[in-house]
Amino acid sequence: MSATTLKAAEPDKGRFAALTLGALGVVFGDIGTSPLYTLRECFSPEHGLPLTPENILGIMSLIVWALVVTVSVKYVLFVMRADNKGEGGILSLLALATSSRPDATGRLTKLMALGLFGAALFYGDGMITPAISVLSAVEGLEVAQPGLHEMVVPVTVCILIVLFAIQSHGTGKVGTLFGPIMIAWFVTLGLAGLVEVVQEPHILGAVNPLYAINFFRNNGVIAFLVLGSVVLAVTGGEALYADMGHFGRIPIRTAWFYVVLPSLLLNYFGQSALLLGDPAAVRSPFYLLMPDWGLYPMIGLATLATVIASQAVISGVFSLTRQAVQLGLCPRLDIRHTSSEEEGQIYIPRANWGLLLGTIGLVVWFRSSSNLAAAYGIAVTGDMVITTILALVVAHRRWRWPVPACLALGGLFLSVDLSFFSANVIKIPHGGWVPLVIAAMTLGLMSTWRRGRAVLARRLAEESLPLEQFIKRTVKSNDIHRVKGTAVFMTSSGDTVPIALLHNLKHNQVMHERVIFVTVLVEDVPRVPAKDRVLVEGLAEGFYRLTVRYGFSQEPNIPKALRLCKAFGVEFDLMATSFFLGRETLIPRINPQMAQWREKLFVVMSRTAVSATDFFKIPPNRVVELGTQVQL
């Protein structure tokens, strides 16, 4: 290899190492903190499972194969192939699943509803993960000093308040610290487990799936119920796909197979070996795995790790919320960029404080990580089932996999996912209802907003005129006085006259010499390149239609889009351009297309939306707003 080739390869290696380190610091925080509580919950007193060597080996075997089948095979090797132009996550997967068969309207509606419910479940996960993760870490204080039991909840709440309070500063400044901290965490996990495995090496025999099979044969219904706790070992696996757009498929796979999976397995093996020698350690096998001198440092490291795990989920909620706004599933929100270099680093105040209130409410209500475990399982397993279904649709429709192959693979994945989900269903009365209620409320809000916008668009179209007809009449008319400058009218439909234009003519009786109708479209891809951003159409002398396209991971910026029009021979001077926006005052009425309570809810949601001026990044001193009343 030549010196030139070596020099060219070095930056690639450095970038790959940086991405892998970043993946360790962000992607694996959730699944990496699962050893804090998983094995303890498997032997929870409510299961009534005896601490026999056979049961310990059986549960350890279940954990091993859950990590292999669900995370390694399903998410890392299969689902992550569903690459939506570099992006992952359930909305990206939904876009892939629904874009390949536009003629199957009924099926697409069902898939859309399924995908949106999966996205809604993620919001429940976003509240539960910080609560259970930080609680489980702070509960180490009880192991060190049982008298500190009453301090667990207050300390947890304080940590959560600090965590959410710093979100406005973004993760850019502290992001480089995440990777080294998580490396220290995984190395500590592996070493602590290895020490115990050396003393009880026969625990490694749990890799034999016969131990898991015998566990079910010997324990029957109890073994099935224990699956509801075993699934805690794979919570966070969905983050591998959700964060694929930030770090790439290969760095995430490398970090998982070379660092995370070995460390997790060693720690679980170590905890199981500890229980074989000391069944009383079941009260906290993770912390009792540590030597006395390392207990307090481990509590501190665990707290840092759980904060990082929580940070990853919170950032995921921000990203999902931005996608929901762009896809027309929720009102316009204040979205702030916290980095000038990384587009994905954003902060959404309303989402942040809503998550904080929900998370603190869960901590105060449930008061322990054990009580929260039931709520956690439903959210994650529901998301797993939906992800599998959508991924199989993508495999068949887009990758052209034959039906037998999809059925075989789907049978394997769904048998595991549905077993985990079914084992958690019985926990619904004991906390499993929490993520379902959160998801139902979120889905209700999204569907109400989407439906309400469609009804509003029809009402506005009824009060407007066809654009082509209006332009013909305007060009021939001598009654309309034309003034210098450019007028930009934002409109959701490029085929009808904006209400703001009609009101401007009615009240001011003038029209600018150049009129631009701007329609913003959001495509079902993460990003639309700048070269495809705008399309300019000349409608008549002085009239233009401008279509601006964005991906669901991008934010609109109309002034920047206008600058791209120069390639079409249309230039803009912002100081000589006026932006006319319509502001609708909505009046509910009995509407057969929407229930009355949904009408009222839509009106409230509309009032909380960020103004179009701020959302589209339009200079406020160039905006003219014209109001109108609209009866739904």
Integer Cα distance of 136 and 302 in angstroms? 9
Question: Which one is predicted more confidently, 177 or 359?
Answer: 359
Q: How far apart are CA 15 and CA 9, in angstroms?
A: 10
Is 50 exceeded by the pLDDT of residue 10? no
What is the SS3 assignment for 491?
coil
3-class secondary structure, 485? strand
The contacts of residue 348 (CB under 8 Å, 6+ apart) are 318, 321, 322, 333, 334, 335, 336
State the pLDDT at residue 106: 40
Strands (E), 27-77: none
Reported as half-sphere exposure (CB side, CA atoms, 13 A), residue 562 has a value of: 24
The pLDDT tens digits of the residues spanning 369-414 come to 878 877 777 888 888 999 999 999 999 988 999 999 999 999 999 9
Position 70 confidence tier, pLDDT thresholds 50, 70, 90: very high
Q: Would you say residue 150 has pLDDT above 60? A: yes
Distance CA 310, CA 156 (A): 13
Residues facing residue 496 across a β-bridge: 466
Average pLDDT value for residue range 598-605: 86
Mean pLDDT of the chain: 84
- pLDDT tens, residue by residue, 410-466: 999 999 999 999 988 888 888 888 888 988 898 888 888 888 888 887 877 777 778
What confidence category does residue 631 fall into, taking pLDDT thresholds of 50, 70 and 90? low
For residue 24, the model assigns a pLDDT of 82
β-pairing, 510-522 vs 481-490, is parallel
Q: What does the CA dihedral 350, 354, 355, 359 come to, rounded to 10 degrees?
A: 160
Answer whether 258's CB lies under 8 Å from 91's CB.
Answer: no
Give the Cβ contact number of residue 82 at 10 Å: 24
Cα–Cα distance, 338 to 353 (Å, whole number): 17
Q: Among candidates 256, 348, 313, which has minimal Cα distance to 133?
A: 313
Domains of the chain are 17-431 (1.20.1740), 465-631 (no CATH)
Distances (CA, A) of 443 to 121, 287, 390: 9, 39, 18
Any idea how long the chain is?
632
Element holding 582 (H helix, E strand) = strand 577-587
Q: Which residues pair with 548 in a beta bridge?
A: 520, 534
φ, ψ (nearest 5 deg) of residue 477: -80, 140
Token pair 């990082």 in the structure block, residue: 308
Query: For 291-338, how does the pLDDT look when each residue is reduced to its tens digit (9 = 90+)?
Result: 888 888 888 888 888 887 777 778 778 878 887 887 788 888 888 776
Q: What is the pLDDT of residues 95-133, one digit of tens each?
A: 888 775 544 434 447 778 888 888 888 888 888 888 888
Q: Which residue has the higher pLDDT, 417 or 567?
A: 417
385, HSE (Cβ side, Cα atoms, 13 Å) = 17
Q: Can you give the C-alpha Rg of the chain in angstroms?
A: 28
Mean per-residue pLDDT, 570-592: 79
Most distant CA atoms of the chain, gap in Å: 96
Q: Which residues of 15-34 are buried (b: 16+ CB within 10 A; e: fewer)?
A: eeeebbbbbbbbbbbbbbbb
**Cα 384 from chain centre:** 13
